Amino acid sequence: MSASEEGSPVAGSHSPSSLSSPSSKPRARSAGRSCRSICHPFAEVVPPSARGAASLPAGRPYGLDGGSLLRTPGQSGVAPLAHGWAWMNFTWFASAYDTDDVPYRLLTLLQIAGALVLAAGASKALEEYDFTVITYGYVVMRLAMVSQWLRAARNDPERRRTCLRYAVGILVVQLGWVARLWLPDSAGLPSFLVLVVAELAVPAWAERAGRTTWHPHHIAERYGLFTLIVLGESITAATATVRAALDTEVSLGDIAPLVVGGILTVFAMWWLYFTQSAAEKLNSLGTALRWGYGHYVVYASAAAVAAGLAVEIAHLTGHAHLSRLAVATAYTVPVALYIAVLRLLHRGAAKFGAPDAIWAAGVLGVLAVTFTPSPVLATGCVASALVAAVLTVTRRARTSIPRTG
């Protein structure tokens, strides 16, 4: 945590109650208390790594089968969806109730074990539509959070109702996931959608009973780190795909525009994410919910960029039997979606101005290059130009502010 976070108040938070010693029981985190648990960063690195492994279909050459990537987007997205939601919830809980005691660490390790079980069952879910293992892994992760919330409810009387809502809501939804395994195949998709909505509704419902003492700077920091992990996974997946392509008859010159365009795109996505500070915007329940839920689209679109690059390479090597427009769209649409959602998350309630026009132009520019001969390289150039424009406007805005004193 940065020095600026020490002692900084949390807007809308309450002072923590007098509770038992943190060495034995969880208590509400005070506004200035930093996240000191060694479990927290460990718990955020291991599950994304497992998620990355789970997203690679077994027996396929690093995603060169581009057609399969587009035919089964729902199935291949189950593991990232489950991992991402469980560990986003863990981040918000840890920001308020991370005591780093023995029970907390053991429950965190149980969550990690559940993440690994989920990853182990991802291939079966993707290829055989057997969701038994992946469901049990997810339920293990979530039941660990139920125990965490019950501990918090016992030792934080001021927010006991909120903590109990979390525990009950998560438990009921997990019973739904287990029951779903016994439903007929025809009810698979409808029940999945209903349970996803129920999962997403739990935090909004629980926090309305009383806001937990999560720290805005801590939340912004952890979401930023998670974004770096997702972008890093995208680079790793893209590297593996390029390496597999070079093992064919494709030359480095043929694939160079894709490599350069992909690097420029990911670099621009990283830069754009950190152009603005988010902590001061997380000052209400509404903005916090938008931030948390909106990042699902950020993470999904960032991961989809790597899949889109894989489709481009598959088309180049003759493995993807798709139209040129479909191949280009698989890459440009996720990038445009990433840029658009990122702007919406950062702009807040400000009136429409020059920055919005620049970001909108960037989105339209990325979509427009879908119809160019080299959409990946063109996307990288447009995204880089957007970074330059945003930096220029931001610098001018700062210099135009009159200095006092």
Q: What is the pLDDT, as a whole number, of residue 380?
A: 95
pLDDT by position in tens, the chain (length 405): 333 333 333 333 333 333 333 333 455 544 334 444 555 555 555 555 444 444 443 334 444 454 444 444 444 456 667 777 887 888 889 888 988 889 999 999 999 999 889 888 877 877 777 889 999 999 999 999 999 999 999 999 999 999 999 999 999 999 999 999 999 888 888 999 999 999 999 999 999 888 888 888 888 888 888 888 888 887 887 787 777 777 777 777 778 888 899 999 999 999 999 887 777 778 778 888 888 888 888 988 998 898 888 888 888 877 767 888 999 999 999 999 999 999 988 876 566 778 889 999 999 999 999 999 999 999 999 999 999 999 988 787 667 655 554
Residue 332, both tokens: 């440009």
Q: What is the pLDDT, as a whole number, of residue 334?
A: 95
What DSSP assignment string belongs to 285-302?
HHHHHHHHHHHHHHHHHH
Q: What is the pLDDT, as a whole number, of residue 167?
A: 96
**Cα distance between residue 272 and residue 276, in whole Å:** 8
Q: What is the pLDDT, as a whole number, of residue 100?
A: 83
Q: What is the pLDDT, as a whole number, of residue 289?
A: 84
Answer positive or negative: Cα dihedral of 266, 373, 337, 383. positive
**HSE of 291, CA atoms in CB hemisphere, 13 A:** 28
How many Å separate Cα 401 from the centre of its chain?
A: 35
**Cα distance between residue 405 and residue 393, in whole Å:** 25
Say how many residues make up the chain.
405
Assign 22 to helix, strand or coil. Answer: coil
CA distances from 3 to 95, 96, 279 (A): 17, 19, 14
Q: Which residues contact 179 (CB under 8 A, 6 or more apart)?
A: none
In 3D, which of 183, 176, 196 has the Cα closest to residue 84? 196
Q: What is the pLDDT, as a whole number, of residue 272?
A: 93
Burial class (CB in 10 A: 0-12, 13-18, 19+), 176: middle
Q: What is the b/e burial string over 273-294, where b = at least 16 CB atoms within 10 angstroms of the residue's CB?
A: beebebbebbeeeebbebbbeb
In 3D, which of 226, 280, 251, 256 has the Cα closest to residue 80? 226
In the chain, the N- to C-terminal Cα span, in Å, equals 31
Torsion, Cα of 266, 269, 275, 276 (10° steps): -140
Q: What is the pLDDT, as a whole number, of residue 24?
A: 39
